[in-house]
Amino acid sequence: MADNSLTDPKDMFSIAYLQMLTAHIKHSFVDCSGTSKDKKGVDCEVFKTECLEVYFQAKCTSISSKSMIEEDENYIYYNFDIKKYKAHYKKYLALIILPADAEFEQWLETNFLFEIKDPNKSGLLLKARAFYLPINGSYDLGKPPNSNRSNNLVKIPKTNILNQNSLLKMVELVENPEQTL
């Protein structure tokens, strides 16, 4: 039996973030944690039509994890051994970046109607940034200027924002492989 339970809060945040986006575009979501797909580097799937899924390898880090992440004005540099993952046009790295570990209590804020009288101030706020990178063989490896690091850093453009619009675009691309491939 597959064990698809998650215990690391960061893992849970990354899956929850993708699941929330999927709910908002009214598509289907499958958490692959602990399944045979997980072993092939797929943490979850998003799809409108079965067999036309977008696959995600979901990662989450805090900005204080200096060994994992650096950034400059235009790029995120993330420590990710992308060569371990087979190139596939349906597969993406989803990277969720949270505030510093010391600010864990502030990562997520909930203010609901029963606590606050003003409805405009009611809501849920995840203090995260999210980016994506296609794992299709055409990614950039690189490191920030003036860095001495020798790790496997992938270079993610800050324009690759992972939100509802970009997620919809990924599903559309999988449905139209003539353009994608």
Partner 1 sequence: MMYNINQFQFEKDLYIAGFDYKVSNSGNFKIWRRKDSNLYLVTPQDSNDINSFENYIEDNICSLIKILNVNKDYSNDEFVDIFINKKYPINSRIETKSTTVPSDYLFTLLTSTMKSYRYFREYNYEYKKMGTKNFEVGHSKKGSYKIPILVSLEEDVLSDFESQINIMSNTLFHQEREPNPVLKSIVEFSKSLDKLNNLDKHSESTKFIDIVMENKLNSHIVETFLSVNRSFQKVREDYKDLIKHSYIEFESNPILDFDVNP
| Residue 159 near partner 1 by CB under 8 A | no
| Residue 49 near partner 1 by CB under 8 A | yes
From residue 120, how far is each of 65, 106, 110 by CA, in Å? 34, 20, 13
| Residue 180 near partner 1 by CB under 8 A | yes
As to burial, measured by CB atoms within 10 angstroms (0-12 exposed, 13-18 middle, 19+ buried), residue 50 is exposed
Question: Which residue stretch of 13-21, 49-57, 66-74, 123-131 sits at the interface with partner 1 (rule: CB under 8 A)?
Answer: 49-57
- Alpha helix stretches (DSSP H) within the chain: 9-24, 36-39, 164-175, 177-180
| Residue 178 near partner 1 by CB under 8 A | yes
User: Between 74 and 113, how does the x/- string for binding to partner 1 read (CB under 8 A)?
Assistant: ------------xxxxx-----------------------
Contact between 54 and 46 under an 8 Å Cβ cutoff? The reply is yes
Question: Which residue stretch of 4-12, 15-23, 46-54, 122-130 sits at the interface with partner 1 (rule: CB under 8 A)?
Answer: 46-54
The strand pair at 44-47 and 123-126 is best described as unpaired
Q: Which of 51, 73, 84, 120 binds partner 1 (CB under 8 A)?
A: 51
Residue appearing with tokens 């599903």: 171
| Residue 166 near partner 1 by CB under 8 A | no
Q: Determine how many CB atoms are found less than 10 A away from the CB of residue 33.
A: 19
Question: Which residue stretch of 56-64, 140-148, 154-162, 170-178 sits at the interface with partner 1 (rule: CB under 8 A)?
Answer: 170-178
3-class secondary structure for 55-88? Answer: EEEEEEEECCCCCCEEECCCEEEEECCHHHCCCC
Of 29 and 89, nearer to partner 1 (C-beta) is: 89
Of 31 and 175, nearer to partner 1 (C-beta) is: 175
> Long-range contacts made by residues 121-125, C-beta under 8 angstroms, separation at least 24?
none
Interactions with partner 1, residue window 22-41 (CB under 8 A): 36
* Binding-site ranges for partner 1 (CB under 8 A): 36, 49-52, 86-90, 175, 177-181
